[in-house]
Structure 1
Amino acid sequence: MARDTQLPRVLVVGAGPVGMVLASELLAHGVRADVISKLRRQSPHSRATILWPRILELLDRVGVGRKLVDNGHYFDQMNYYSNKKMIGLIRFDRLRGVGYPFAITIPQWRTEAILEEHLTALGGMIDYDTTFVDGAQHPDGVECRLQLPDGGSETRTYDYVVGADGYNSVIREAFGFRFAGRTLRTRLAITDAEIVGETTSSEAAYYLTRTGNMVLAPLGDGIFRVGASVPVGYTGDTPDRAFFETLLAERVPGARRLGEMKFSGVFTAHVRSASTYGSGRVFLTGDAAHAMSPSGAQGLNTGIQDAVNLGWKLAGVVRGAYRPELLDSYDVERRPAVDQVSALSTRLAKIGLYPTRHQTLARDAVYRLGTGTQVLEKVLAPRLAQLDTHYGPRPRRRALVPGERLPLGWRESSTAPVLAVDRYSVLLWPGLQYRYERWAALAEQLREQVTAATVTDLGGRPPGPLLSKLPREAHALVVRPDGHLDALVPLDDRTPMTVVRAVERTLARHVLPELAPAPQLAGLSAQ
């Protein structure tokens, strides 16, 4: 690829799903993104298989949500067993206010292939066999020394650098980020395999026993992801068929045998977090920034949330549309959000390995009661689906507050407003007692005067999940490009121009006075 040194550019180190989502966001907004990877993809086998509802929504925004769904396997229920007896379940098809009331299982290699195809369509490419060696930050850029495929080296200067290079991140090490935490004692074994006589359904299941646990998740075409905690005393790295069939007999009801095994492996889980996710012009995303227990399958999904949160901010700052200070909010927002997800994963891992009869009886009773009352589903389903991601203080009562995800998306819809991809959105809510004879004039004035955002009139028919939380009084909802509420601006009986100025002042906290012209966004979200 010819390199135009005049364009502002970002170096993304790491070509996994997180790095490619971030690079796609940047490229779609006209920001040059160089993606490098030390290794070519050597194996079609990987750990991450589940994409949850909120992440499918955000991948809609990037432009690949529907394609991933079309190439994945639908599932909408998680079942829980204890000592081979079913104790509870969670259904995701009853989630409200979500574009995808289900999850998909999809091998990570397939996710990566789809994302790379999308990246290429946006004009990007991945420089394989290219290694980040070292670098130094300066006030106006980051100087990076790279080792090229031919063994030579080259020094390039980038506006920003993002480490999406996994648990053993060279970016984290090179720029002095601390990475504190612990290693979990329990090792985990995985394989993708056919289960003889079993048809792939829309349900995944956890099997809990006092000697260990197991998970079976359908991948489609008769194949299942089979995961299990490794018994004490096993020291191998490539468990065979007998290993998994022994654990199936001990932990899962019914006689089950494995057919063809695609691969097998053992890994150790860690719970760690970087001291900060951003330092000057260098940022960390995904496993480079945090590691968590695999219970709940949250790791990759959390990394994609990182990529979207950083991506729109970084693209806007580099384009000159947003104030540079906006980048400080990446660490402020994502670290508490990741800590909450990690705490949930650790908790699920702990209760899934309770060793005593007293603990398991208490856990099983909670699952049964929670399932019967649907409290388990109401509490746990939004958290597993990552729909409860919130950037700021959570409300004590059911009311809209800045930082929360709005139940809106970026796909064309005849029943709900569509959010803008490349800028903020302003949603006008007339309230329940607004004087409607003045509303049309006010809405038109805002559309004409507020040029830094897309203005949409909600009228009297916003989507139900949003209507239940809207205030009685008229307000403008200022919504970020990632679908989280930025601010609520009251629209009282002031003059239209006063209202316009109030909305503009709110936007001006992050948006520069002259919005940088957006490029053609052919690859982003209008799916």
Structure 2
Amino acid sequence: MVSDTQRPRVLVVGAGPVGMVLACELLAHGVRADVISKLRRQSPHSRATILWPRVLELLDRVGVGRKLVDSGHYFDQMNYYSQKKLIGLIRFDRLQGVGYPFAITIPQWRTEAILEEHLTALGGTIEYDTTFADGTQDPDGVQCRLQLADGRSQTRTYDYVVGADGYNSAVREAFGFRFAGRTMRTRLAITDAEILGETTSSEAAYYLTRTGNMVLAPLGDGVFRVGASVPDDYTGDTPDRAFFERLLAERVPGARRLGEMKFSGLFIAHVRSAGTYSSGRVFLAGDSAHAMSPSGAQGLNTGIQDAVNLGWKLAGVVRGDYRTDLLDSYDGERRPAVDAVAGLSTRLARIGLYSSRHQTLARDAVYRLGSTTQTLEKVLAPKLAQLDTHYGARPRRRSLVPGERLPLGWRESPAAPVLAVDRYTVLLWPGHQYRYERWTGLVDKLRAQLTAATVSDLGGRPPGPLLSKLPREAHALLVRPDGHLDALVRLDDSTPAAAVRAVGQSLARHVLPRAAAPQLAGLPA
């Protein structure tokens, strides 16, 4: 008989990138999960191709960041054209305090293959041809009726269920989540194809005209993702070579001809959001929770951010390390963050479809001026890269604010502290004036007592983007497992015992008093 600690405690419905990232987070931290998928991989042709810098950082902590980069195509510049003339550009290689100052293009099927390989290495499996039929929940668990591959119906009980099953989510429907929004008027056509005589480079480009727009993103080996808004008079179902070549001639400078087309398709974009991303023991992530315009290529990246935000919290709660009310923060943190990304994508889509002369002239002037002054890059690059995701007050330029992303990562580095993957990290900052002997004693005491967290002495090693925001006085920085600042605890006048108590009390907002955290003994559970 399977013991309670060994049995699967979480059901993940959906085995796309979002569901697999979440399952990998759980498995890596000792939590068994059942992962089910209604269908096997449907097609090697997919819409999502770009992974942005912040998501590559987060995939480092999952364990697949470097492999994805090695398997993808590097790009670090976005060019913008209007009426076939260059009006602006954004460079990502000038981003500061970033583990990956670039993005990659990679077909979604390849991302999924790498994630599934990693999930299998962690001891997980995916039950294909298995459908979530319906479910109910009570204070003690979630009862799920599944349709198995052999046609049998089976009821299983889980502690928690996560719907990562896409836009037509069965989990969202079964548990009564509201999913409001609108369908965008413009249809979009996509293909992955060779462009004859064109060498794939490190630049992607948007081509804006008064009759529609087009995007070319290099995938490597001479192949490009080609996307275009569809003219209103087009009535076909599957755009052919002549369709794309006509739009290339109308919208893109130079004579372009397509070689081999890998696939071709039409789709309509939606802008929608669930009223909440959590209800009791049931959570939504990725396209199950939100849909947005494809402008800016933010959808998949946003879903992976959902998975990481929920994954470490859910793993800690199931393990018994964290307080259950930590799960309440998932909706409160992710929904505003997603709304901001969706708003940006909608604005980019609207700007890209300007058709009147005065609109395009004003837009083009802003792009030209913004590029000349690098204002466009400073404002837009962190947003596209999803580096400005924060959970709380908006980060300030000269001081740290709880909820902001810290410019640190999970890869070994001689130049900066490394964050813990499976627990909080306490970074000790001595301030600008301190006594060496007293500080080393304080550091040693905290390291010995704070066993619920990894303790690291920032000392002289804070990276520049962080150093400029650190306070003058000695502080402990409590950093969440996802790399966001949780709290600042002042230490400058504390004795070692008082410092342990102060940091322990701050940790105790989320961490339960257990044998693994003796410094929390005596604090309320």
TM interval, shorter chain, is over 0.9
CA distance in 2, matches of 1:265, 1:376: 32
After superposition, where does 1:177-256 map in structure 2 within 5 Å?
A: 177-256=177-256
CA distance in 2, matches of 1:33, 1:483: 24
1:168 aligns with 2:168: yes
What whole-Å deviation, never above 9, does each CA across 1:127-178 have from its counterpart, x for those lacking one? 0000000100011110000000111111000110000000000000000000
Q: CA deviation at 1:104?
A: 0.2
Q: Identity, % of aligned pairs?
A: 86
What whole-Å deviation, never above 9, does each CA across 1:470-518 have from its counterpart, x for those lacking one? 111110000000000000000122211011100000000000011669x
Between the two proteins, the alignment pairs up a number of residues equal to: 516
What SS does the corresponding residue of 1:269 show, helix, strand or coil? strand
CA distance in 2, matches of 1:397, 1:98: 16
CA distance in 2, matches of 1:376, 1:447: 44
After superposition, where does 1:143-158 map in structure 2 within 5 Å?
A: 143-158=143-158
| Aligned AA (1:226) | V
CA distance in 2, matches of 1:451, 1:360: 59
CA distance in 2, matches of 1:361, 1:211: 15
CA distance in 1, matches of 2:266, 2:3: 44
| Aligned AA (1:54) | R
| Aligned AA (1:72) | G
Partner residue of 1:407?
407
Kindly indicate whether the alpha-carbon contact (under 8 Å) linking 2:8 and 2:34 is maintained by their aligned counterparts in 1. Answer: no
Q: CA deviation at 1:462?
A: 1.1
| Aligned AA (2:451) | T
CA distance in 2, matches of 1:28, 1:4: 19
Q: CA deviation at 1:3?
A: 7.1
| Aligned AA (2:232) | V
What SS does the corresponding residue of 1:318 show, helix, strand or coil? helix
1:478 aligns with 2:478: yes
Partner residue of 1:307?
307
| Aligned AA (1:344) | L
What SS does the corresponding residue of 2:124 show, helix, strand or coil? coil
Kindly indicate whether the alpha-carbon contact (under 8 Å) linking 2:397 and 2:469 is maintained by their aligned counterparts in 1. Answer: no
Partner residue of 1:507?
507
CA distance in 2, matches of 1:183, 1:403: 32
Kindly indicate whether the alpha-carbon contact (under 8 Å) linking 2:191 and 2:264 is maintained by their aligned counterparts in 1. Answer: yes
Q: CA deviation at 1:245?
A: 0.3
What whole-Å deviation, never above 9, does each CA across 1:45-100 have from its counterpart, x for those lacking one? 00000000000000000000000000000000000000000000000000010000
| Aligned AA (1:284) | L
Q: CA deviation at 1:437?
A: 2.8
CA distance in 2, matches of 1:507, 1:275: 30
CA distance in 2, matches of 1:293, 1:516: 45
Kindly indicate whether the alpha-carbon contact (under 8 Å) linking 1:427 and 1:477 is maintained by their aligned counterparts in 2. Answer: yes
After superposition, where does 1:124-135 map in structure 2 within 5 Å?
A: 124-135=124-135
CA distance in 2, matches of 1:90, 1:38: 40
Structure 1: where are the runs of 5+ without partners? 518-527
Kindly indicate whether the alpha-carbon contact (under 8 Å) linking 1:45 and 1:107 is maintained by their aligned counterparts in 2. Answer: yes
Partner residue of 2:91?
91
Partner residue of 1:492?
492
What SS does the corresponding residue of 1:391 show, helix, strand or coil? coil
Partner residue of 2:281?
281
394-403 or 144-153: which moved more? 394-403
CA distance in 2, matches of 1:367, 1:56: 27
What SS does the corresponding residue of 1:272 show, helix, strand or coil? strand
Partner residue of 2:386?
386
CA distance in 1, matches of 2:182, 2:350: 14
CA distance in 2, matches of 1:81, 1:129: 45
Kindly indicate whether the alpha-carbon contact (under 8 Å) linking 2:163 and 2:285 is maintained by their aligned counterparts in 1. Answer: yes
CA distance in 2, matches of 1:289, 1:485: 25
CA distance in 2, matches of 1:379, 1:11: 39
Partner residue of 1:525?
none
| Aligned AA (1:376) | L
CA distance in 1, matches of 2:436, 2:336: 42
CA distance in 2, matches of 1:285, 1:494: 42
What is the alpha-carbon root mean square deviation over aligned residues? 1.2
Partner residue of 2:330?
330
Kindly indicate whether the alpha-carbon contact (under 8 Å) linking 1:320 and 1:516 is maintained by their aligned counterparts in 2. Answer: no
Kindly indicate whether the alpha-carbon contact (under 8 Å) linking 1:207 and 1:251 is maintained by their aligned counterparts in 2. Answer: yes
TM-score, normalisation: structure 2: 0.97
Change (3 A) 1:73 1:4: farther
CA distance in 2, matches of 1:511, 1:334: 21
Q: 4+ runs of 1 displaced by more than 6 Å?
A: 2-5
Change (3 A) 1:388 1:75: same
Q: CA deviation at 1:42?
A: 2.2
Partner residue of 1:59?
59
Kindly indicate whether the alpha-carbon contact (under 8 Å) linking 2:452 and 2:516 is maintained by their aligned counterparts in 1. Answer: no
What whole-Å deviation, never above 9, does each CA across 1:411-459 have from its counterpart, x for those lacking one? 0111010000010000000011123231000010100111110000011
430-439 or 76-85: which moved more? 430-439
Kindly indicate whether the alpha-carbon contact (under 8 Å) linking 2:194 and 2:223 is maintained by their aligned counterparts in 1. Answer: yes
Partner residue of 1:68?
68
TM-score, normalisation: structure 1: 0.97
CA distance in 1, matches of 2:257, 2:172: 43
Kindly indicate whether the alpha-carbon contact (under 8 Å) linking 1:8 and 1:318 is maintained by their aligned counterparts in 2. Answer: no
CA distance in 2, matches of 1:417, 1:329: 27
42-51 or 489-498: which moved more? 489-498
What SS does the corresponding residue of 1:104 show, helix, strand or coil? strand
Q: CA deviation at 1:355?
A: 1.1
Partner residue of 1:443?
443
CA distance in 2, matches of 1:188, 1:35: 32
What whole-Å deviation, never above 9, does each CA across 1:296-339 have from its counterpart, x for those lacking one? 00000000000000000000000000000000000000000000
CA distance in 2, matches of 1:287, 1:121: 26
Partner residue of 1:11?
11
Partner residue of 1:524?
none
Kindly indicate whether the alpha-carbon contact (under 8 Å) linking 1:319 and 1:516 is maintained by their aligned counterparts in 2. Answer: no
CA distance in 1, matches of 2:395, 2:510: 23
| Aligned AA (2:255) | A
Q: CA deviation at 1:268?
A: 0.3
| Aligned AA (1:39) | L
CA distance in 2, matches of 1:455, 1:397: 26
CA distance in 2, matches of 1:436, 1:24: 42
